[in-house]
A and B are shown apart, each in its own frame.
Chain A
């Protein structure tokens, strides 16, 4: 079975602090992987490197067989990313967010249909949501 994610000997250092030290992970298609560790273990740094937000000092990361900034960009079409720290655009409403993400990803989701089915208000700006 092909590897969806292949991290080999990846190291990342911020100043004198080694955030990730020679980590290797292989994730095959169909597998569900829990990535656990204490605070400061380097989980977020590793995910950020997989998403290409930050670049490893050494080692390689392959996502769906793609590596390097240019190829990883295309591979992100297959990846859903949800961070506890990331935010949505405060002036945009939910409908605009959905349409924007659909248009950039080049996909049509069921999100708007589902929202209508459950009678959800998608018109309020994100900053007004509780």
Chain B
């Protein structure tokens, strides 16, 4: 979605329509960011709320506070990935490069998290991985979201959003 929203539009040349309108670049970028926010928030709300009738049908007791917390953690995690991809989408004019860098970073982080758990000498590698901070098990069983997780996901989101914004308002777009 993020790859399509800017780089995809440049690739398909539909970005020319948007850029020819009386809209500031910053507004275009923030509208792309907002659409991602709404989509992720909506998806999280639907999946979370669907647990309520499911738990009732199956007669399973559910701690709604814990479910809400795991949803918040999921939203923050998904937004951090979305804004990272949106940043690459603002930098590059080809979707393939956006997918390469976003996918590459995510796979590297995932591998770093796994390896840090297997090799004790590489234990500190876990801190460079977003997956280390996505402790969904603690959120659902104990209702705990660490401040560190919130800080990392929010910080990454804000930094990606800011870099993408600055690049997008300054760059040349040949459409």
Contact = CB atoms under 8 A, between A and B. Distances in A.
A7 interface: no
A18 interface: no
Interface in B7-35: 12-14, 16-17, 19-25
Contact of B14 (A53, A73, A79, A86): A86
Interface stretch (B39-47, B68-76, B124-132, B166-174): B166-174
A54 B93 CA distance: 13
A75 B16 CA distance: 16
A48 B171 CA distance: 13
Contacts of B175: 48, 53, 83, 85-86
A83 B16 contact: yes
Interface string B53-64: 000000000000
Contact of B21 (A70, A88, A89, A104): A104
A81 interface: yes
Contacts of B21: 76, 101, 104-105
B4 to A, nearest CB: 11
The number of chain A residues touching the other chain, given as a range, is 20 to 34
Contacts of A74: 22
B17 A88 contact: yes
A73 B16 contact: no
Interface residues of chain A: helix, strand, loop or mixed (majority): loop
Nearest to B19: A53
The number of chain B residues touching the other chain, given as a range, is 10 to 19
Contacts of A101: 17, 21
Interface in A75-114: 75-77, 79, 81, 83, 85-90, 101, 104-105
B24 A70 contact: yes
Contacts of A76: 20-22
Contacts of B25: 69, 73
A48 B173 CA distance: 9
A87 B25 CA distance: 19
Contacts of B13: 83, 85-87
30 contacts: A48-B174, A48-B175, A51-B19, A52-B19, A53-B16, A53-B19, A53-B172, A53-B173, A53-B175, A54-B172, A54-B174, A55-B170, A55-B172, A70-B24, A74-B22, A75-B22, A77-B22, A79-B20, A86-B14, A86-B16, A86-B20, A86-B175, A87-B12, A87-B13, A87-B14, A88-B14, A89-B14, A101-B17, A104-B23, A105-B22
Pairs of residues from A and B, 9 with the lowest C-beta to C-beta distance, nearest first: A86-B16, A54-B172, A81-B20, A77-B22, A73-B24, A76-B22, A87-B13, A104-B21, A86-B13
Interface of B: 12-14, 16-17, 19-25, 169-170, 172-175
Interface of A: 48, 51-55, 69-70, 73-77, 79, 81, 83, 85-90, 101, 104-105
